[in-house]
Structure 1
Amino acid sequence: MSIPAPHALTPAEALAKLQEGNLRFINGQNEHPNQDGGRRQSLVSGQDPFAVIFGCSDSRLAAEIIFDVGLGDMFVVRTAGHVIDSASLGSLEFAVDILNIPLIVILGHDSCGAVTSAIEAKKSGVLPKGFIRDLVEHITPSVFAAERKGFTDVNSTVVEHVKETSERLVDRSRIIGDAIAEGRTAVVGVSYHLSDGEAQVVSGFGLQDD
């Protein structure tokens, strides 16, 4: 099987571009790049995003806004609590193996409702109804991991869940693991602060050789 051609940006360069955009957002200096009619027309025949965001579905976590990017810049996959399932995993593998995206960002945030539900379910021993239960069961291992480190509050647990999600993604996906080993992509865990807009890097795989 042939190895996909590398992206024009390295994983480290892609991360730097996101961090620059986030700094503009924090400082209220958004440039709103790639959001006009010309950009829209240029993407009709194809796309070449430089990052894939696997983030929480929370309405306060609009990835293109907090990183100050535009159309065609990011491939976005979202589930409540950035829980990995077969559809999200397939989407991330598509981003890496077909679109050759050099950076995967696992994006969590303060006061996450899904993480809060998992913490409360663990404390009470009562699981929620319907498929929300499945969501909580996927997050609960991160709650235990946080507690082993002495963290019981939601925001510290969110950080641990971001780290755990990053590790699970690399462990579960051979496609992504191989891409990291080949230096074609990296996985970075980021925790977003609702109050000041900062997207803080908390973990990473595959950046050390860039």
Structure 2
Amino acid sequence: MVSRRLLLGALAGLAAPALAFAEGDGHPPSLLTKKGRRTARALNHQAGDKAALDKALATVKPMEAEPAHAPETEAAPQAVSPDEALGRLKQGNAIFARGGANISLPTMLRVAELSKGQKPFAVVIGCSDSRAAPELIFDCNLGELFVVRVAGSTVSREGLGSIVYAVEHLGAPLIVVLGHTKCGAVGAAVDVATKHAELHGALHEMVLPIIPAVLEAGEKHPADLQDAAIRQNVRDIAGRLKVADGILAEKLEQGRLKIASACYDLTTGIVAFDA
């Protein structure tokens, strides 16, 4: 059977002169001239050919849709256990902290493989600070970490959705809430809580979720409030995640998920885990 594509191509070629005229790109042929009569006969012939082609097209079976690939939203099995995932992060940071991190770019073969799907072994909730990129400080590469970053390492409703997606549909067995020393967002929250500093618009909204951690840290470690608030903030966020969504709570109860907090030292490159 003739394919629809070939028939359409033939039709396009035959009908081109008539289409050009209909769209105002030509001049009407005069039937009083020999050339005009030849043109009229040609158009009549094309009209007959078009009718025949239309009849043939009506018998062509529509092209079948390509088989759909399995959507990435299907639940994915875990490749490693929560403890194994945590061990990989700790090992990667140890490599980074001693200056032996592997910063080579992935091959194009690896890039092509990742285009078919992803299976990160950990979710890292980190700060947007340019000095605290999780992929670097944990010596990881494309496809290994599912990263959610916002200043202060806080988690919005949208961020929670991203985390649940990574755990439920990508099979990530570990969530790490990562803070870092000298965090500017936490420092701003400290100024708001202790000095009544005024921040405008979105900046004010950014630090509001951190203020409870500042107040709590102030009761325990008033001498070094910013550092204490940084660590309290990630601990609080990790604690809230454990009860923030039924999927996360269920996997925690089953032992298929671990949620931990940690703090990255900008000076030494070392990540200190709370678990």
Bigger Cα displacement from structure 2, 184-193 vs 122-131: 122-131
**8 Å contact from structure 2 (residues 76, 169) kept in 1:** no
CA shift digits 1:72-125 (9 cap, x unpaired) = 001110011011111101100111111110000101000000000000001122
For structure 1, which runs of at least 5 residues remain unmatched after alignment?
Answer: 205-210
CA–CA separation in structure 2 for the residues paired with 1:174 and 1:127: 37
Shift of 1:64: 0.6
Tell me by how many angstroms 1:132 deviates. Answer: 1.1
Q: Which amino acid aligns with 1:172?
A: A
Q: 1:163 is paired with a residue of what secondary structure?
A: helix
Query: Does the 8 Å CA contact 2:118/2:143 hold for their aligned counterparts?
Result: yes
| SS, match of residue 152 in structure 2 | helix
Correspondence for 2:108 among 22, 27, 37: 37
Q: Aligned equivalents of 1:33 and 1:21: distance in 2?
A: 14
d(CA) in 2 for partners of 1:33, 1:77: 23
Q: Matches of 2:170 and 2:105 in 1, distance apart?
A: 19
Deviation at 1:33, TM superposition (A): 6.7
The one of the two structures with greater contact order (alpha-carbon pairs below 8 A, sep at least 6) is: 1
**Following superposition of structure 1 onto structure 2, how do residues 66-105 of structure 1 map, counting pairs within 5 Å?**
66-105=137-176
Instruction: Please state how far the C-alpha of 1:174 moved relative to its aligned partner.
Output: 2.0
Is the aligned partner of 1:167 residue 2:235? no
TM-score (norm 2): 0.70
- In structure 1, what is the Cα distance between the partners aligned to 2:251 and 2:202? 32
Cα displacement string for residues 40-94 of structure 1 (whole angstroms, at most 9, x for unaligned residues): 1111110111011111111101111101110100111001101111110110011
AA in 1 matched with 2:242: V
Kindly provide the amino acid, as one letter, of the partner of residue 154 in structure 1: Q
Counterpart in 2 of 1:46?
Answer: 117
Residues in 1 aligned to 2:153 and 2:81: alpha-carbon distance in whole angstroms:
24
Change in 2 beyond 3 A, CA 1:173/1:33 = farther
Which deviates the most, 145-154 or 69-78? 145-154
Deviating above 6 A after TM superposition, structure 1's stretches of 4 or more consecutive aligned residues are none
Tell me which residue corresponds to 2:257: 185
Deviations 1:147-201 (A, max 9, x none): 1213442112111111011111112222211111111111110100000100110
Q: Number of matched residues?
A: 201
Tell me, in whole angstroms, the C-alpha distance in 2 between the residues paired with 1:7 and 1:192.
27
Q: Residues 193 and 199 of structure 1 are in contact (CA less than 8 Å); yes or no, is this contact kept in structure 2?
A: yes
Q: 1:8 to 1:90 in 2, by over 3 A?
A: same
Query: With structure 1 as the length reference, what TM-score do the two structures score?
Result: 0.90
| Structure 2 runs not aligned, ≥5 long | 1-74
1:11 and 1:33 map into 2 onto residues whose CA distance is: 27
Q: Separation in 2 of the partners of 1:147 and 1:89?
A: 27
Query: Separation in 2 of the partners of 1:123 and 1:85?
Result: 24
- Residue 130 of structure 1 corresponds to which residue in structure 2? 201
Give me the whole-angstrom Cα distance separating, in 2, the residues matched to 1:61 and 1:80.
Answer: 11
**If each structure's helix is expressed as a fraction of its own residues, which one has the higher value?**
2
**What is the aligned-residue RMSD (CA, Å)?**
1.6
d(CA) in 1 for partners of 2:147, 2:190? 27
CA contact (8 A) 1:34 1:69 kept: no
